[in-house]
Structure 1
């Protein structure tokens, strides 16, 4: 049993002895989500902290400090084995594809980075790629932390085609008709039957994959608001303290499928083409019940 698993079991036993079972399970769910999103949470805290303390007269720029923070976080995650090298490789791919999108979107005038900085490429600070990498880090870590499995999973080539179409549309809609409504429908049709099986304590739960993507997009939308309200990036035509449009939530929903398929390029072992009657837990005891976690 891994150290993380032992800590989880000890904490779960402590809470179950003091809280109703549903509350202890929900608390563990929230804690494991936070642990999975540690990179992104740390990056958001860095954005808030640097905004609070940075002075205009300082020689060293805030954007450059955020680049060093992101690189330092990534190094610490590898040193302390919070991420595997396998996960780091896919996160590097997120960084490259995310930076490419950022450069294009800034050039197209969708948003801008108003502060100065040395560590920029075509007007885009290099830490921006780490924001996409944070999404990849969360997904890769969540699959491991929650011991996730996905079933029944659609044909892999179809998922790659859909993810590619979504990514291309983020660029092409500036010149061609926006097909995002078709892409929304395609995600539901393709993944409608796919369940995310995940473990909390000794119990397995499941959630429809499109629902998980929608809920995740809400939290990413909230993170977007932290970025804009601190002036770290600014959307075209948006006032400083104005909320990011809800349309951005839809953009994140679609981008999550691109992110998910990218992660599955290296974690194909968790995908199952047939429905799981029991998740394949080699070290688990038999379970008498499978529960569905509802959106409520």
Structure 2
């Protein structure tokens, strides 16, 4: 799809003739198209989440229908070559990491949130579809990396970035017992990525932005999506059991940290693949 739009666009607006406001608007439009394409799984999956009746479909509880929908979307993308097998493996890793966190957060004694509806495909009280909400973040990062030809300048040592990401993940569990150290971790991340820039190509020229800004922006949009999800009752926080209220703004920081962890997973996997790749 991107290639077809590219050919049509260049037939109408030769790249050499683009300058000033026309270049800005063209690149901004093309950036939006690529972002929409990168959000394909996210968009289709959350469309299913928001449009699914509370009572389910065809006699099947909505949690189970959402699992079927997520699987169909995922394998449809693979079948139509919108996603590679390696990318699918990475998405499955995100699903597993997210599901483990969900099980812990909804467990007895923690109850950070709850899935209150019935479902046949609930395991340890958590519907299996929930892991795809984390997989959606991974899918977006992977697709953006490829479609926008992402390159990272001044990336910190991979082992340090990996250690920080691991500490962020562990803090989601341990803060219930030994205190929340997210702001200390955020300070470490700020130091690690202070000089890091993400270079991307909306059209034919490289553009760049601070990677930390990208983390914060993505975290904000996930926080908005979480507000919509809780409004439709997909899951509920304790303060939303009686009546819906806005998700606490502090969750924005949690999601931004989760984005950092997700990005690090993708970056490290790509780095490992480059190191072990043997040219044919």
Give TM-score scaled by structure 1 length.
0.85
Distance across 2 between alignment mates of 1:14 and 1:115: 52
Residue from 206, 225, 228 that aligns with 2:227: 225
Q: Which residue number corresponds to residue 251 of structure 1?
A: 254
Distance 1:60 1:15, change over 3 A: farther
**Per-residue deviation, residues 178-213 of structure 1 (Å, max 9, x unmatched):** 101111111111011111000011111001110000
Q: Which moved more, 1:101-110 or 1:13-22?
A: 13-22
Number of residues of Structure 1 aligned to a counterpart in Structure 2: 267
Q: 1:146 corresponds to which residue?
A: 148
2: CA distance between counterparts of 1:79 and 1:46?
Answer: 20
**Partners of 1:101 and 1:228 in 2: CA distance:** 18
More helix by percentage: 2
Q: Post-superposition shift, 1:243?
A: 1.3
Q: 1:120: which partner in 2?
A: 122
Q: Quick one: distance in 2 between partners of 1:56 and 1:149?
A: 43
Aligned to 2:106: 106
Match of 2:193 in 1: 191
- Aligned-partner Cα distance in 2 for 1:270–1:12: 34
1:25-104 alignment to 2 at 5 Å? 25-51=27-53, 54-55=54-55, 59-104=59-104
What is the Cα deviation at residue 222 of structure 1? 0.9
Among 8, 11, 28, the alignment partner of 2:9 is 11
- For the aligned residue pairs, the C-alpha RMSD in angstroms reads 2.2
Between the aligned partners of 1:9 and 1:29, the Cα distance in structure 2 is 15
Q: TM-score, normalised by structure 2?
A: 0.89
Deviation of 1:151 (Å) = 0.8
For residues 112 and 223 of structure 1, do their structure 2 counterparts lie closer, same or farther at Cα, with a shift above 3 Å needed? same
Secondary structure of the structure 1 residue equivalent to 2:176: coil
Give the match's secondary structure for 1:111: coil
Q: What CA deviation, in whole Å up to 9, does each residue of 1:213-272 have, x standing for no partner?
A: 00111110111011100000101112543111111110000001110111123322899x
Task: Report Cα offsets for 1:96-152 as digits up to 9, x if no partner.
Answer: 010000000011110011111101111111100001001000000100000000011
**Is the CA contact 1:152–1:194 (under 8 Å) kept in the aligned structure 2?**
yes
Which residue number corresponds to residue 263 of structure 2? 260
